[in-house]
């Protein structure tokens, strides 16, 4: 069994409970972080951040760990849903320096904010039309005026 460092008290109770359950599940598998990384789509350093409480694990990581442990895949994802509502998204982490992770898509509330900001349907068509008009005004119109208007001969 791995000796885990205490979780930071700045985390909400639901988030700490999720990480504690993930730690127990990881210990139950008997896998090292490197072996867990080889068997899942998440790197060793990502698993370190998730199990230290430094970063909220994606829902897919929770499900992957459940599969590795051969346990039900209902209870921990439900616990993830509770923790996701309280996890301080985008806040500075007391457990260590924040590291940008470019290989993982946004999750939880970050994904919902990103998705809500993305234009869809009619909004996307309006955005595209505005972009084309802007391009015409900024680039095409001055070029056309330079071509059409006579330059002073003299």
Query: Which pTM does this prediction carry?
Result: 0.56
Q: Measure Cα distances from 43 to 3, 10, 30, 35, 50 in Å.
A: 21, 25, 17, 10, 11
Name the H helices within 6-58: 13-29, 33-39, 44-52
What CATH class has 13-89+96-117?
mainly alpha
Give Cβ neighbours of residue 93 (< 8 Å, ≥ 6 apart).
8, 54, 55
Instruction: Give the distance from CA 3 to its chain's centroid.
Output: 28
pLDDT at residue 76, as a whole number = 87
Percent of the chain with pLDDT over 70: 77
Residue (of 95, 59, 109) closest to 79 by Cα position: 59
User: Residue for token digits 């885990």?
Assistant: 4
Q: Contact, 16 vs 52, CB < 8 A?
A: no
Ramachandran area for residue 121 (φ above 0: left; ψ -120 to 50: alpha; else beta):
left
Distance CA 27, CA 32 (A): 9
CA dihedral sign of residues 25, 12, 111, 78: positive
Q: Where are the domains of the chain?
A: 13-89+96-117, 122-154
Q: Contact, 127 vs 40, CB < 8 A?
A: no
Token pair recorded at residue 128: 């595209």
Using one digit for the tens of pLDDT, what is the confidence trace for 5-63?
888 777 788 888 999 999 999 999 999 999 989 988 899 999 999 998 888 999 999 99
């Amino acid at each position: 069994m791995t000796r885990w460092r205490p979780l930071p008290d700045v985390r909400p109770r639901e988030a700490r409970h999720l990480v504690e359950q993930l730690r127990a599940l990881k210990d139950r598998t008997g896998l090292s972080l490197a072996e867990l990384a080889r068997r899942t789509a998440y790197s060793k350093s990502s698993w370190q951040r998730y199990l230290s409480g430094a970063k909220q694990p994606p829902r897919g990581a929770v499900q992957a760990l459940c599969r590795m442990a051969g346990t039900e895949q209902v209870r921990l994802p439900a616990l993830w849903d509770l923790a996701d509502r309280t996890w301080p998204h985008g806040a500075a982490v007391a457990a260590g320096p924040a590291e940008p992770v470019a290989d993982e898509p946004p999750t939880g509330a970050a994904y919902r904010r990103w998705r809500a900001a993305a234009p869809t349907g009619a909004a996307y068509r309006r955005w595209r039309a505005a972009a084309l008009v802007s391009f015409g005004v900024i680039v095409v119109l001055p070029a056309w005026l330079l071509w059409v208007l006579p330059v002073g001969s003299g």
